[in-house]
């Protein structure tokens, strides 16, 4: 890597002047004895050396000095810059041109060599860091080493890496930061905007220092932000390239760190899903078992063989109804908890008419007193649905309809294909729903029916929304209608055929 | 119709209710509390129907069922579960259960289920003839012909196989995975849209109304059942 000279850039020019003086003196000493034709070649050698060592400006100044010195001391008439012989003039012009070309060539070769050395060093550093990162499952040591490399040979005053997001940030490697700097890191991450420095064309570029602001620069990376303290002097191109590469690597490592944190979080969530499911199933067992005993006992007492008096039998029938109601309430509460626990649903292609059929068969005793109308369009594409959940929606909507319909009146179940979705509805010809209730009716615990849990329709909405569908209530001229929409499963049907 | 019913349940109140209620229905009833006792009674007393709760402490209902079938016990098994979890039903049916009932249930519903499995048992013992009937549906297994009333209905080989399997197990819920395995083969298990699509086709050809099915009943989350 090329070094800059902090004492100033006088040395190359001093070397040029000394070199030219020495060569001029040597030529002056040698010439009386040996009449050599082209002693100017010695200057050329000097120019090439200076070009290789200090670069192009010092080579040019040496060439010009050589021109002047040779003309003054060694070309007749001596002591003047006047040139009498055209041959000597040509000699000098050739010397200057050769010096210029040669010096330039040597300088660029030297620069290229220095660049190659710098690149080799840079690859070495990146290789070392990458290996460290791969070898250690935790990124911290690799990140710490990376921050050290950003200082030496990267040339920064200090570097720190901050992981996190706009809400919380944590210094994971490098120098400690002030609370203000950590807060500024969070701001940079939230805005996803660099401050004070930027990565451009594979180089790190610092913006001009803004007075009054903290001296640190913030570069946003994949999984965090790098906080850089720029040095007082300017960084050279190799250092800026190395720093850009280091920041790239830091971005990858922070990203890996974040991914690991996310998968850890997901594992924890899955464990909590399993726990929730276990708790819910244990709670349902505890709540349902006594109900099961009650129902079995009460329905046994209702049998003629039990020999109860009519009064007693009436009492038992009432208790049995209450038990059934309690069972439904417990079922609704458990269903709601299951939905609120966010346990996953299983969406598969389903024939909607099959689902409606299953629900109608299950509810046959309840639906007996009503006139049932089915208006399902034939050849409907399958819906993408969780069979049991949609069965629950249809059951709840039908039970709701039953509550509001006079015996003998009509309850309609319909479905049609609409805008590449399936629209299904349950309609009863009970009283219209007051306008202000049409939206609230789906809220949890909202009910205007005595003994209603206020959960049935809320459960419907949760389920339909979890399917990516929508549900609404309207008043039609024939009575209130509850309509829901579900996505179709076109691709699945293609695959099955 | 009478028969021997073995009730396996760890809740004393439900055992007492079932002993009384099923007794009123003229069944001979014994009740036990654990899986181990269930296996002993099943071997010694030879019940016609075992009413098996899946949530037993210790040896689970699934284990009892598996052992019963392993020992070649032919008693019909109706599994009883408080959990409305369909995967449990499917698992029990695939292990060889004949039907399931979800708690809480009424005594009428339970005795109807028990009678249905008893009827199927007797029917299976008597016949062996190559024609299976379910209502006005008639499958001639030798000729591979299906008639509704006296009308001959044509089915594709897949549709026929599925219908035949349901008919051979008429009245019993057959799981999606069993149908997929029997009709398509092991590789198809899991692709439940196959069964749904083919059942929809069969239904169309039988002019079976899905809302009031005369032949094939959909058991959500479980599979299908051919009505008897």
Is residue A60 one of the residues assigned to a domain? Answer: yes
Cβ distance B177 to B189 under 8 Å? yes
Neighbours of B99 (CB within 10 A): 22
Instruction: Write down the pTM of the prediction.
Output: 0.60
Statement to judge: residues A171 and A110 lie in one domain: no
Q: Do A355 and B220 touch (CB under 8 A)?
A: yes
Please list every residue in chain A whose beta carbon sits closer than 8 Å to the beta carbon of residue B13: 290, 293, 296-297
Query: Would you put residue A32 in left (φ > 0), alpha (ψ -120 to 50) or beta?
Result: alpha
∠ CA B178-B181-B186 to the nearest 5 degrees?
A: 140
- Number of A/B CB contacts below 8 angstroms equals 123
Q: Are residues A179 and A244 in the same domain?
A: yes
Asked if residue A404 and residue A470 are part of one domain, the reply reads: yes
Domain boundary among B126, B148, B166: B126
Check CB contact of A269 with chain B, cutoff 8 Å. no
Same domain for A485 and A358: yes
Q: Is residue A185 part of a domain?
A: yes
Are A394 and A372 a contacting pair, CB within 8 Å? no
Last residue of a domain, one of B87, B109, B126: B126
B109 shares its domain with B140? no
- The CATH code of the domain that includes B66 is 3.40.50.2300
| Mean pLDDT by groups of 10 residues along chain A of 497 residues | 52 86 84 70 81 77 83 77 73 75 78 81 80 73 86 86 80 86 85 85 78 74 86 83 86 84 82 77 83 94 92 93 88 83 79 87 86 87 88 91 88 89 90 82 75 81 90 90 89 51
B103 close contact with A: CB closer than 8 A: yes
| B155-167 mean pLDDT | 91
A387 CB near a chain B CB, below 8 Å?
yes
Cβ of A353 within 8 Å of Cβ of B55? The answer is no
CB within 8 Å of chain A, chain B residues 181-200: 191-194, 196-197, 199-200
At residue A222, the pLDDT reads 79
Within this chain, do residues A331 and A450 fall inside the same structural domain, yes or no?
A: no
Q: Which residue has the higher pLDDT, B107 or A127?
A: B107
B94, B126, B158 — which closes off a domain? B126
The pLDDT of residue B80 is 92
- Counting the structural domains of chain A, the total is 4
Q: What is the CA radius of gyration of chain B?
A: 18
B110 and B73 share a domain?
Answer: yes
Choose among A295, A323, A388: nearest Cβ to B220. A388
Other C-beta atoms lying within 10 Å of the C-beta of residue A327: 18
CB of B106 less than 8 A from some CB of A: yes
Task: Check if B82 contacts A (Cβ < 8 Å).
Answer: yes
Closest CA to B82 of A243, A330, A318: A330
Q: Is B24 close to A374, i.e. CB distance below 8 A? A: no
Structural domain for A367, as ranges: 348-496
Write down the pLDDT at residue B170: 85
Distance from CA of A397 to the nearest CA of B (A): 16
Are the beta carbons of A360 and B106 separated by less than 8 Å? no
Quick one: tokens of A339? Answer: 């939905």
Task: Answer with the one of A266, A289, A319 that is the final residue of a domain.
Answer: A266
B14 contact residues in A (CB cutoff 8 A): 289, 292-293, 296
| pLDDT at res. B174 | 93
Note whether A322 and A371 are same-domain residues.
no
Residue from the list B21, B200, B219 with its beta carbon closest to the beta carbon of A299: B21
Is residue B66 scored above 60 in pLDDT? yes
As a whole number of angstroms, the distance between CA B19 and CA B6 comes to: 10
pLDDT digits (tens, 9 = 90+) for A281-326: 778 788 888 999 999 999 999 999 999 999 999 999 999 989 988 8
Give the chain B residue nearest A352 (alpha carbons).
Answer: B210
Digit-coded pLDDT (tens) for A331-379: 888 888 888 877 777 888 888 888 888 898 888 888 889 988 888 888 8
Q: Is A353 on the interface with B (CB under 8 A)?
A: yes
Indicate if B93 and B148 belong to the same structural domain: no
Do B70 and B163 have their domain in common?
A: no
Distance in angstroms (rounded) separating the CA atoms of residues A461 and A63: 89
Task: Tell me if A285 and B55 make a contact (CB, 8 A cut-off).
Answer: yes
CA distance, residue B122 to nearest chain A CA (Å): 27
Q: Cα dihedral sign for A437, A442, A446, A451?
A: positive
Interface check B36 vs A, CB under 8 A: no
Please tell me what DSSP assigns to residue B183.
Answer: I
Other CB atoms within a 10 A radius of the CB of residue A292 amount to: 23
Domain at B163, CATH number: 1.10.10.10
Residue A5 lies in a domain: no
Mean pLDDT score, B167-195? 86
At residue A343, the pLDDT reads 72
Q: Indicate whether A461 and A474 sit together in one domain.
A: yes
Task: Tell me: do B144 and B212 sit in the same domain.
Answer: yes
* Shared domain check, A245 and A375: no
**Which of residues A86, A107, A126 is at a domain's end?**
A126
Q: How confident is the model at residue A3, as a pLDDT?
A: 45
Question: Domain ends where: A287, A308, A340?
Answer: A340
Distance CA B151, CA A147 (A): 85
**Which pLDDT does position B196 carry in this prediction?**
86
pLDDT, residue A211, reads 54
The region that residue B218 occupies, defined by phi over 0 for left and psi between -120 and 50 for alpha, beta otherwise, is: beta
Which chain B residues are within 8 Å of A295, Cβ to Cβ? 103-106
pLDDT tens-digit series, residues B108-128? 999 999 998 998 877 765 556
Structure tokens at A416: 């049609």
DSSP per-residue string spanning A58-70: HHHHHHHHHHHHI
Q: Which domain holds residue B195?
A: 131-226
Q: How many domains are there within chain B?
A: 2
Q: Are residues B114 and B81 in the same domain?
A: yes
């Amino acid at each position: 890597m090329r070094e800059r000279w902090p004492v100033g850039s006088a040395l190359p020019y001093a070397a040029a002047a000394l070199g030219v003086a020495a060569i001029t003196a040597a030529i002056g000493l040698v010439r009386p004895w040996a009449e050599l034709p082209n002693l100017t070649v010695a200057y050329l050698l000097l120019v090439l050396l200076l070009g290789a060592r200090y670069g192009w400006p010092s080579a040019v100044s040496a060439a010009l000095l050589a021109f002047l010195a040779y003309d003054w001391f060694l070309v007749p008439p001596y002591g003047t810059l006047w040139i009498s012989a055209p041959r000597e003039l040509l000699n000098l012009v050739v010397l200057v041109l050769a010096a210029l070309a040669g010096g330039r060539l040597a300088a660029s070769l030297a620069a290229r060599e220095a660049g190659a050395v710098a690149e080799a060093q840079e690859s070495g550093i990146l290789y070392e860091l990458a290996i460290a990162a791969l070898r250690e499952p935790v990124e911290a040591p690799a990140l710490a080493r990376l921050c050290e490399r950003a200082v030496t040979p990267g040339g920064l005053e200090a570097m720190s890496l901050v992981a996190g997001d706009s809400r919380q940030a944590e210094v994971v490697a490098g120098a400690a930061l002030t609370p203000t700097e950590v807060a500024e890191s969070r701001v940079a991450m939230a805005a996803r905007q660099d401050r004070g420095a930027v990565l451009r064309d594979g180089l790190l570029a610092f913006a001009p220092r803004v007075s009054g602001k903290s001296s640190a620069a913030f570069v946003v990376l994949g999984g965090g932000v790098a906080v850089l303290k720029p040095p007082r002097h300017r960084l050279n191109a190799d250092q800026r390239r190395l720093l850009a590469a280091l920041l790239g690597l830091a971005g990858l490592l922070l990203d890996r760190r974040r991914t690991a944190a996310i998968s850890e979080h997901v594992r924890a969530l899955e464990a909590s899903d399993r726990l929730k499911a276990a708790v819910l199933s244990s709670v349902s067992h505890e709540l349902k078992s006594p109900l099961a005993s009650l129902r079995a006992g009460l329905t046994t007492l209702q049998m003629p063989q039990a020999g109860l008096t009519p009064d007693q039998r009436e009492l038992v029938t009432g208790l049995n109804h209450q038990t059934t109601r309690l069972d439904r309430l417990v079922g609704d509460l458990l269903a709601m908890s299951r939905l609120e626990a966010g346990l996953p649903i299983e969406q598969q292609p389903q024939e909607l008419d099959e689902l409606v059929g299953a629900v109608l068969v299950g509810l046959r005793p309840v639906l007996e007193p009503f006139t049932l109308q089915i208006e399902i369009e034939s050849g409907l594409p399958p819906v993408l649905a969780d069979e049991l959940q949609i069965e629950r929606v249809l059951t709840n909507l039908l039970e709701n309809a039953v509550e509001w319909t006079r015996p003998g009146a009509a309850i309609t179940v319909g479905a049609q294909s609409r805008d590449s979705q399936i629209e299904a509805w349950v309609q009863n010809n009970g009283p219209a729903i007051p306008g202000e209730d049409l939206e609230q009716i789906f809220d949890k615990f909202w009910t205007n029916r005595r003994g209603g849990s206020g959960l049935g329709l809320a459960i419907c909405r949760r389920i339909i929304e979890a399917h990516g569908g929508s549900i609404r209530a309207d008043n039609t001229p024939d009575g209130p209608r509850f309509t829901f929409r579900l996505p179709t499963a076109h691709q699945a049907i293609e695959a099955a055929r | 119709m009478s028969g021997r019913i073995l009730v396996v349940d760890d809740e004393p109140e439900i055992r007492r209710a079932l002993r009384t209620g099923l007794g009123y229905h003229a069944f001979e009833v014994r009740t036990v509390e654990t899986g181990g006792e269930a296996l002993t009674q099943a071997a010694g007393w030879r019940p016609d129907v075992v009413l098996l709760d899946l949530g037993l402490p210790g040896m689970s209902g699934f284990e009892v069922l598996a052992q019963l079938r392993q020992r070649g016990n032919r008693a019909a098994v109706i599994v009883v579960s408080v959990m409305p979890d369909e995967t449990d039903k499917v698992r029990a049916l695939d292990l060889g259960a004949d039907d399931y009932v979800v708690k809480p249930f009424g005594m009428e519903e339970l005795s109807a289920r028990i009678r249905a499995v008893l009827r199927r048992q007797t029917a299976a013992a008597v016949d062996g003839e190559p024609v299976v009937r379910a209502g006005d549906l008639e499958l001639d297994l030798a000729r591979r012909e299906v008639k509704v009333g006296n009308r001959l209905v044509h089915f594709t080989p897949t549709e026929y196989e599925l219908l035949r399997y349901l008919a051979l197990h008429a009245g019993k819920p057959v799981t999606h995975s069993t149908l997929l395995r029997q009709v398509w083969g092991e590789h198809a298990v899991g692709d439940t849209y196959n069964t749904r699509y083919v059942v929809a086709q069969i239904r169309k050809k039988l002019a079976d109304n899905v809302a009031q099915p005369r032949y094939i009943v959909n058991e959500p989350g479980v599979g299908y059942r051919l009505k008897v």
